[in-house]
Structure 1
Amino acid sequence: MSSLSNSLQLKHGLALCCPHSSSLTRPHPSSSIGFRSFHRNFVVASSFSNDNREFVIVGGGNAAGYAARTFVENGMADGRLCIVSKEAYAPYERPALTKGYLFPLDKKPVRLPSFHTCVGSGGERQTPEWYKEKGIEMIYEDPVTSIDTEKQTLTTNSGKLLKYGSLIIATGCTASRFPEKIGGNIPGVHYIRDVADADSLISSLEKAKKVVIIGGGYIGMEVAAATVGWKLDTTVIFPENQLLRRLFTPSLAQRYEELYKENGVKFLKGVSIKNLEAGSDGRVAAVKLGDGSIVEADTTIIGIGAKPTASPFEVVGLNTTVGGIQVDGLFRTSIPGIFAVGDVAAFPLKMYDRVARVEHVDHARRSAQHCVKALLSAQTHMYDYLPYFYSRVFEYEGSPRKVWWQFYGDNVGETFEIGNFDPKIATFWIDSGKLKGVLLESGSAEEFELLPELARNQPSIDKTQLRKASSVEEALEIAKASLLNEQKA
């Protein structure tokens, strides 16, 4: 459940500690990209529904959980922080939903509270009790529907009026859906974005025989791996000519496709979908393709991307090119005291000098931490993010092969593929003689640790030498030696 918006222009198209009191006035660090300095006034009023009004986070995903931890680490959470979420659960590590959560029921699937934040990065498990112990006010199942930036108030779906001194928007994304007129809401048609979605899908999988997955990206690949574990007849349909086109090279995509085929998955590539059809029981029964042919399905999962959940915050300022809420390198919006982090933030991608919106758990974590540190201190250094993506599939018990790949950097330039995929493979992107990006499948811990160093430092690589590498290990040693030589120079 991870992606980079097309703002990154990936080759295939692919945001002064102060005393706790009834009045808060805090200078904001200056920004080098034109977001003005300001003062905000925080006023307590008895008519507001939230007791903790100094800091408010809207959103209940990864970014909210990691922001909460950073507030706690700085001693600024107790009695000061309120989190407003549309979900019924405390923040959790969302990637689990298309990985361990979908394991067959006899393969020890993960369930809450095992994947509450911040266990994904080795931190303490932040259960609902944790938030209570830390004095953080949680408002569940009550999404924000409007904002008044002049009065610094939020209104929720239930009619609650909330007050904020500083506001962090961490609303993430929502799954892109098929229109209702072509069957997007038929029972048995699933989208995955939260625990309720995953629970609904599992209920269908327990009774399913023929599954159709629409989409050849992260969701499609991860869900297909899970349905293999359920031993279900699985077909993956997508309009592109290869899997994960925004990142994989055609040859690498073919390797993964062959692996899935070996596990019984069928692919229909380069086809369009006319509509989804219901059977006599009202549930989905088939997918009708553009050429009129029919693919039977009693369960359908749609994974065709996501869109930032920017409503009702349009007034804060949107980026019309990449979507989401425009922020600077400290995650400040154009309105004083309002910030945006995670999937919803359109931010300056410093190392590549462009604006990006990144849909990935790593960015959600890091952006939240960076934002809160800037908010609570005199920190002024700008967010300097290195794009990172990964996937883990076929990890359930009894799987003949567990798959785990990682990518760092930018996939621009000439590609060099080393290895035969059994047991591992690596792809290097070289542009103007410099290493720009690297992907590794089935690497060791030490090899994975090398990848971000290579991608961030972008050493010059001898392409002839790299092309002659007889193994992934040799290719990585060539890249490592190039890095060390430049660091010594």
Structure 2
Amino acid sequence: MGQIIVVGAGQAGASLVAKLRAQGCEDAITLIGEEPVPPYQRPPLSKAYLLGEMARERLYLRPESFYAEQGIALRTGTGVAAIDPEARHVTLTTGEVLPFDQLALTTGSSPIRLPAAIGGDLGGVYTVRGLADVDAMTGEFSEGRRVLIVGGGYIGLEAAAVAAKKGLQVTLVEMAPRILQRVAAPETADFFRTLHRSHGVDLREGVGLDRLTGEGRVAAAELSDGSRLEVDFVIVGIGIRPNTALAEAAGLAIENGIRTDAQGRTSAADIWAAGDCASFPYRGGRIRLESVPNAIDQAEVVAANMLGAGQAYEATPWFWSDQYDVKLQITGLNAGYDRVIRRPGAKEGTGSHWYYAGEQLLSVDAMSDPRAYMVAKKVLDAGGSIPAEAAADPDADLKIYMRR
């Protein structure tokens, strides 16, 4: 019987080991995670869980008993210090050495933190990534307190929405000219800017953070426009980086993540990678996707390939974000778009933005408009397109393009 080790007990790691067993793998499987809890969902952390609307146990992807029942050795609260691809073993932070026949890296990503030089190490400064992060900040969310959100991407906007709903005084700063600068069109940014301001968020674009000040704990923020804010705590949402240190130290190829081929193989024999940490071929280039759907789908393909399937991973990107009562659903990737078409939704405050490169539909942002999202997703997943004039016409029946 062989030995399979999976390093990283997040969404990708949990999906991978479950798929191995579901496909009849009889090898010994060990899933190693640094956090002291079973694999859990991350998206609800900054929404339902932070709002107190979801119990911790509901976050768990599967009951802890599942792993024992499936013969999966779940090692929580355990770190991996090193990988030796030639000797085919991993060394744990405890000094224990575990041999492997196949190894999968699902090490995920980590939030970018503020430098200590500008006050990033002060008490009361948080990131939103893991369960411990959210547990640590939960006590801060009392009505009337003042929070500064640094970063106008989806994580920052979601945190701002939760804080505003709980009655806090919220200021959000984004050093780029507008929110969602790197991920969405100005039209989508306009929609969410209006939404947040309507809920009382003091949203400041083109304004960066110079430094945080306080005696051991943050008390104020000095901004790039010369203004100063008194704050009770700070949430930082300025992006994430793939966790590649283990792979890099082991000599694996790195290219905006752990470089893999179309099947999920790394540059080392019998070592695979999936999820946030992995970059893979996509439409003549190479991408890395930071999303739950990708973590699940890619991990399941890698699991099949570890058992000899020889299947290329065909990514069908989709994402979502919940802010207030708006559900944003995104399908496709908008890189390279040259125009955006707005399609009104059936109700006020809803609608969708359609990204085109020439006549080709690339991506859609749907704001509480599930019909537009589902049609666009099915068409894009099938490699098709929808004429821009049809997308712009609210009376046009777009379903006809799902059959082409």
> What is the TM-score when the length of structure 1 is the normalising length?
0.78
Of 359, 362, 366, which residue of structure 2 is paired with 1:440? Answer: 366
Q: 1:364 is matched by which residue type in structure 2?
A: A
Q: Which residue of 2 aligns with 1:86?
A: 34
Shift of 1:432: 2.6
Q: Which has the larger radius of gyration?
A: 1
Shift of 1:274: 1.2
Which structure 2 segments of 5+ residues have no match?
A: none
Contact 2:150 2:209 in 1 (8 A): no
Distance 1:185 1:131, change over 3 A: same
Q: Which residue of 1 aligns with 2:344?
A: 419
Q: Which residue of 1 aligns with 2:7?
A: 58
Q: 2:312 is matched by which residue type in structure 1?
A: M
Of 33, 38, 56, which residue of structure 2 is paired with 1:112? Answer: 56
Shift of 1:86: 0.5
Contact 1:435 1:458 in 2 (8 A): no
Shift of 1:456: 2.8
Question: What are the equivalent positions in structure 2 for 1:349-360 lying under 5 Å apart?
Answer: 349=282, 352-360=283-291
Greater mean alpha carbon deviation, residues 457-466 or residues 140-149: 457-466
Structure 2: how far apart are the matches of 1:435 and 1:116?
A: 37
Shift of 1:449: 2.6
Q: 1:481 is matched by which residue type in structure 2?
A: I
Give the 3-state SS of the residue equivalent to 2:37 in structure 1: coil
Shift of 1:380: 1.9
Question: What are the equivalent positions in structure 2 for 1:464-483 lying under 5 Å apart?
Answer: 464-467=389-392, 469=393, 471=394, 474=395, 477=397, 479-483=398-402
Structure 2: how far apart are the matches of 1:334 and 1:202?
A: 42
1:132 counterpart = 2:81: no
Q: Which residue of 1 aligns with 2:273?
A: 340
Shift of 1:257: 1.0
Structure 1: how far apart are the matches of 2:56 and 2:21?
A: 22
Q: 1:297 is matched by which residue type in structure 2?
A: V
Residue by residue over 1:252-279, the C-alpha shift from the partner in whole angstroms, topping out at 9 and shown as x without a partner, is 2112111111111111110122111114
Contact 1:435 1:454 in 2 (8 A): no
Shift of 1:138: 1.4
Distance 1:457 1:134, change over 3 A: closer
Contact 2:253 2:267 in 1 (8 A): no
Distance 1:438 1:458, change over 3 A: farther
Q: Which residue of 1 aligns with 2:236?
A: 302
Residue by residue over 1:226-281, the C-alpha shift from the partner in whole angstroms, topping out at 9 and shown as x without a partner, is 101210000011111222122322122112111111111111110122111114xx
Give the 3-state SS of the residue equivalent to 1:102 in structure 2: coil
Q: Which residue of 2 aligns with 1:257?
A: 193
Q: Which residue of 2 aligns with 1:383?
A: 313
1:331 counterpart = 2:264: yes
Structure 2: how far apart are the matches of 1:460 and 1:331?
A: 28
1:180 counterpart = 2:128: no
Residue by residue over 1:434-483, the C-alpha shift from the partner in whole angstroms, topping out at 9 and shown as x without a partner, is 22212211124x5433222122345454434544x1x3xx35x2x43344
Shift of 1:90: 0.8
- The RMSD of aligned alpha carbons is 1.8
Percent of pairs identical after alignment?
A: 28
Structure 1: how far apart are the matches of 2:143 and 2:93?
A: 35
Structure 2: how far apart are the matches of 1:311 and 1:156?
A: 15
Structure 2: how far apart are the matches of 1:186 and 1:424?
A: 40
Give the 3-state SS of the residue equivalent to 1:248 in structure 2: coil
Shift of 1:387: 1.6
Higher relative contact order (CA 8 A, sep 6+): 1
Distance 1:140 1:461, change over 3 A: closer
Structure 1: how far apart are the matches of 2:64 and 2:209?
A: 42
> What is the TM-score when the length of structure 2 is the normalising length?
0.94
Runs of 4+ in structure 1 over 6 Å off? none
Give the 3-state SS of the residue equivalent to 2:59 in structure 1: coil
Q: 2:239 is matched by which residue type in structure 1?
A: G
Structure 2: how far apart are the matches of 1:85 and 1:260?
A: 36
Shift of 1:208: 6.8
Residue by residue over 1:289-311, the C-alpha shift from the partner in whole angstroms, topping out at 9 and shown as x without a partner, is 12432112111000000001111
Shift of 1:408: 1.1
Give the 3-state SS of the residue equivalent to 1:70 in structure 2: helix
Question: What are the equivalent positions in structure 2 for 1:30-429 lying under 5 Å apart?
Answer: 54-76=3-25, 80-103=28-51, 105=52, 109-117=53-61, 126-206=62-142, 209-279=145-215, 282-314=216-248, 315-320=250-255, 323-349=256-282, 352-377=283-308, 379-394=309-324, 402-411=325-334, 412-419=337-344, 422-429=348-355
Structure 2: how far apart are the matches of 1:366 and 1:160?
A: 32
Which structure 1 segments of 5+ residues have no match?
A: 1-19, 25-53, 118-125, 395-401
Structure 1: how far apart are the matches of 2:359 and 2:219?
A: 52
